[in-house]
Amino acid sequence: MLNDERFIDRLSDKLQDEVKKADPEFQGTPMKAIITTAMIEAFDPNRPPGPRHQARDWLAKYGYGTKIDVTSDGERVEVAPLVISKIKPRGLDDDGAPEAQAEAS
């Protein structure tokens, strides 16, 4: 695969439906070809689950990693701090006992 000059043509012929026209950039860059092959293997529904899982693990370990940056329009998404507070129910004093009610006369 690394030394095959016709790798992209054969890949396109084999996967005509999935890959309409392979990127000619792959010819001189074998790592792109290897990662593309792993991506195709990872998501090809015709392959058995075992090899698909292995390809996904390989991509997570060596390709994309597990810490993917989530962005929106090229900007990092800020996470708002979560504030949790306890709200006392109405009618209870600080000690938890019901409030004394004044009698009307």
**Which three-class secondary structure string do you get for 6-69?**
CHHHHHHHHCCCCCCCCCHHHHHCHHHHHHHHHHHHHHCCCCCHHHHHHHHHHHHHHHCCCCCC
Higher pLDDT, 84 or 13: 84
- The C-alpha angle with vertex 41 and arms to 37 and 42, in degrees rounded to 5, equals 115
Check residue 1 and give its pLDDT.
53
Give tens-digit pLDDT for 13-40. Answer: 666 555 455 566 655 567 777 888 888 8
**Chain-wide mean pLDDT for the chain?**
70
Please choose, from the candidates 52, 9, 2, 51, the residue with its C-alpha nearest in 3D space to the C-alpha of residue 31. Answer: 2
> Is 96 contained in some domain?
no
> Is 36 contained in some domain?
yes
Domain around 18: 7-66
> Is 50 contained in some domain?
yes
Average pLDDT of the residues in 86-103: 66
> Is 75 contained in some domain?
no
Local confidence band at 65 (pLDDT 50, 70, 90 cut-offs): low
> Is 39 contained in some domain?
yes
Query: How many structural domains compose the chain?
Result: 1
Local confidence band at 104 (pLDDT 50, 70, 90 cut-offs): low
Please choose, from the candidates 40, 38, 45, the residue with its C-alpha nearest in 3D space to the C-alpha of residue 61. Answer: 38
Torsion of CA 69, 70, 71, 72, to 10 degrees: 170
Average pLDDT of the residues in 3-17: 65
> Is 79 contained in some domain?
no
Counting every residue written for the chain, the total comes to: 105
Residue 63 has pLDDT above 80, yes or no: no
Check residue 27 and give its pLDDT.
57
> Is 30 contained in some domain?
yes
> Is 100 contained in some domain?
no
Cβ-contact 4, 10 below 8 angstroms: yes
Residue indicated by tokens 């991509």: 59
